[in-house]
Structure 1
Amino acid sequence: MIKYNCFYCNKDWALHDLMIEISELNVSTLYLNKDQTHRGRCIVSFNRHVTELYQLSKEELHSFMEDIAHTSQILNEVFHPDKINYAIYGDIVSHLHVHIVPKSRKSSEWGDAFINSPDNKHYLNEENYTKIINIIRKRLN
């Protein structure tokens, strides 16, 4: 097995410092971003180390998009955002993952791309992370 220098593959402290695992999905893993500047912000990470969408088979791509769509539907039902933004980066963390970011018209970022790493991050206490995760997990089933 190839060992990548990738926190999504290694599931190490760097991953756990930024996010909390919610659940395994069809071909990916769903995480809650610890920075909840945008309430409900999650990340869907493909379960195999690839860097680009075109590296997926048609079946994998279809399943990955279903995981993303299902997650965004749940976030829409739970958080009632005005819009959900999707972002695929990879300059620093090259593992294929999608940020799913519920946004509000009241946000200072409305009309612009969300700030991936804002200066003033909004962290919750463990109880509030657990509440959000449990609500999302119930709707996944």
Structure 2
Amino acid sequence: MIKICDLKVSELFMFKEQSYPGRCLVAYKRHVNELFELSPEERALFMEDVARAAKAMSKAFNPNKVNYGAYSDKLAHLHFHLVPKYEGGHTWGSTFEMNPQKVYLTDAEYAEKISAISLQVNTSAMV
């Protein structure tokens, strides 16, 4: 993954494998394994970070839908996958694949996507 920025209580990363153009991950900064380990205030801030990142992705890449995944059987750290889905695109209408390992970008292409998300994250403060 490539770090994009810090959010309130999380970090936003670009997923290197880009079968889903714009796919990102929001990881909680403090080491916890489950949502229920957070206080109600921490959980609200984390979900605000997830929503802010999803909104930024949506504005930057205009997907038909953003899918959310909180899979972590083997990675003991709270995080959400944010997966933009496009009608007619990879796995449209079904569950996204975790690691299809099909599409990797050039450094310039990653920089372009990261710039688009960064711009939106910085202008998309949640109210």
**TM-score of the superposition, structure 2-length normalised?**
0.93
Residues in 1 aligned to 2:99 and 2:83: alpha-carbon distance in whole angstroms: 13
Which residue is equivalent to 1:33?
15
Which residue is equivalent to 1:95?
77
What is the CA-CA distance between 1:52 and the residue it aligns to?
Answer: 0.4
Identical columns (%): 43
* Bigger relative contact order, structure 1 or 2 (CA pairs below 8 A, ≥6 apart): 2
Residues in 2 aligned to 1:23 and 1:126: alpha-carbon distance in whole angstroms: 17
Which residue is equivalent to 1:84?
66
Unaligned runs of 5+ in 2: 123-127
Count of aligned residue pairs for this structure pair? 122
Which residue is equivalent to 1:126?
107
What is the CA-CA distance between 1:108 and the residue it aligns to?
Answer: 3.9
Residues in 1 aligned to 2:89 and 2:117: alpha-carbon distance in whole angstroms: 23
What RMSD, in angstroms, separates the aligned Cα atoms of the two structures?
A: 0.9
**TM-score of the superposition, structure 1-length normalised?**
0.84
Matched, 1:75 2:57: yes
Q: List structure 1 runs of 4+ shifted beyond 6 angstroms.
A: none
Matched, 1:53 2:35: yes
Which residue is equivalent to 1:137?
118
